[in-house]
Chains A and B, each alone.
Chain A
Amino acid sequence: MKVTFTVNGRPTEADDVWEGESLLYVLRERVGLPGSKNACEQGECGSCTVYLDGDPVCSCLVAAGQVQDREVGTVEGLAQGDTLDPVQQAFVDAGAVQCGFCTPGLLVQTHDLLNRAHHPSDAEIREALSGNLCRCTGYEKIMDAVRLAAARKADARDAAPTGLEG
């Protein structure tokens, strides 16, 4: 079947998709976006987290046909050209990336958190990221990264001349 949807703002078409493929498979193998990862493919690790119509979901559990006419956002869509999103930059700067396999899913989930909560407490950060497994870092520097990104985004908002939310 053919599946037509929007990815990172761009209309995208995937041909010859087998119905049993997941959205994750389609992104990785058919539309050239392997940034979302396949650590478990059972919805148990969060490495495949993408935005689906504005909400983060596990793309490994979305059947390909279900994405028809919908909007998908992946890690590849967070940066603006070569300018990293503050969340991405914070993960790099805080040492929150070791092997990095969990990182794309965490970035999408963190991006969503900081859009909804501008000053999350540590407990709120942990709750929001509770569906993303990491095996390398023990999550400490991930916490540092989220706090850093929140602070930087707050600074950017404070500096914005019109006071519009960033």
Chain B
Amino acid sequence: MRSFTYTRPAEPAQPWTELGPDAMYIAGGTNLVDLMKCGVAAPGRLVDIGRLPLADIEVDAATDTLRIGALVPNSDLAAHPVVRERLPVLSRALLAGASPQLRNLATLGGNLMQRTRCGYFRDLAMPCNKRVPDSGCAALDGEHRGHAVLGTSSRCIATHPSDLAVALLALEARVSIDGPNGPRAEPIEAFHLPPGETPERETTLTHGELITAVEVPMTTLGAHSYYLKVRERASFAFAMCSAAVALEVREGTVRAARIALGGVATTPWRAYAAEAALIGGPPSTGAFARAGDAATEGAVPGRDNGHKVELIRRVVARALSTLAATDTPATDTPATDTPATGTPKSPGTGEAPRTGEAPGSTEGEHR
């Protein structure tokens, strides 16, 4: 690990003034510290933004939007009552990731910024265009069973590992950013960049910018949403393939749909063709299967990860059918009056709060 200076400024209204060219921000550190230990990240200076006032979760009643501060820990976000009730895909996606200890430390902003788990990216002895531009890609001919089939380029096939970002993508969240050039906001879809010719550029952030918040519209669609993740053990593993889906069904017809994929693409991936295939049709098994097919459009399988294509098909179909079967249909009344009662619960557990919930909470289990 390279030596660096560490500073945690007390009241930085503009933390970029503390940064300098060879510096990075650190918040929860669960990804950055790991990358520094293996030498992939080597900043000369760390500016700890952990004390910035960016840890609130607020509902903007006028726009019915949830504003989540970038420093909100994953566990708090997953447990938040408004998130559980009105944006279930978000809560489930968070709880499907990492471990309780990591979720206590990891932040929303950090989760969106996390780097790929590609073994060659993390191995300084191997060529990697993302880590060292123009050095080559060892994964193309190497071990790539877990790598991407969507959004790839000849320079990089590394998978984006986040669950949370996939859910936010399906919810059409907006990322609020601040920096030396002033505040800005953009849809999360624009935030993550596919590798193309420049795999080293992963987000739109320029040096000094940081995520300050993510805003999530709380719509009927969002209240009828679901997250499904296929991984190789029951817990604590990255996705082979995951899907965040949302459906708005009225009078037996799909009015709106969102489908976003994880574990199979170089960025969180919105499956527009699959969504379009559903609109105007019935929420039927056949329709969901066609959506699954459509979600594989554009997939470029490698020698060893072709199984992901079929997996996408099945995961999308399963996520949609499960959502349709367990959810109550949307009505014209606001979503808050119709919590997803059909969603699976654990049998009555009395006062046991879920992992990560603040002490003293007595809310029952919600699955």
Do A and B actually bind?
yes
Q: Is the CB of B50 within 8 A of A57?
A: no
A131-B101 contact given A61-B29, A66-B8, CB 8 Å threshold: yes
A-B contact count (CB 8 A): 121
Q: Is the CB of B98 within 8 A of A131?
A: yes
By DSSP majority rule, is chain B's interface helix, strand, loop, or mixed?
A: loop
Q: Range of interface residues on chain B?
A: 35 or more
Q: Is the CB of A43 within 8 A of B30?
A: yes
Q: Is the CB of A58 within 8 A of B3?
A: no
Q: Return the chain A residue nearest B98 by Cβ.
A: A131
Contacts of A1 in B (CB 8 A): 6
A52-B105 contact given A65-B48, A117-B352, CB 8 Å threshold: yes
Q: Is the CB of A58 within 8 A of B37?
A: no
Q: Is the CB of B346 within 8 A of A58?
A: no
A55-B36 contact given A43-B30, A63-B29, CB 8 Å threshold: no
Binds A, one of B161-169, B325-333, B353-361: B353-361
Contacts of A19 in B (CB 8 A): 3-6, 46
Contacts of B349 in A (CB 8 A): 119-121, 124
Q: Is the CB of B350 within 8 A of A128?
A: no
Contacts of B361 in A (CB 8 A): 116
A57-B105 contact given A19-B4, A42-B37, A128-B355, CB 8 Å threshold: yes
A61-B100 contact given A117-B351, A124-B346, A130-B235, CB 8 Å threshold: no
Contacts of B36 in A (CB 8 A): 20
Q: Is the CB of A43 within 8 A of B101?
A: yes
A23 and B234 CA atoms in complex are apart in Å by: 29
Contacts of B4 in A (CB 8 A): 19-20
B33 within 8 A of A: yes
Say how far A59's CB is from chain B's closest CB, in angstroms: 9
A-B contacts, 14 listed (Cβ < 8 Å): A19-B3, A19-B4, A41-B37, A42-B37, A43-B101, A58-B99, A61-B30, A66-B29, A66-B48, A116-B361, A119-B351, A124-B355, A127-B235, A127-B354
**Residue positions of A touching B, CB distance < 8 A:** 1, 18-20, 22, 41-44, 46, 49, 52, 54-58, 60-66, 68, 109, 113, 115-121, 123-124, 127-128, 130-132
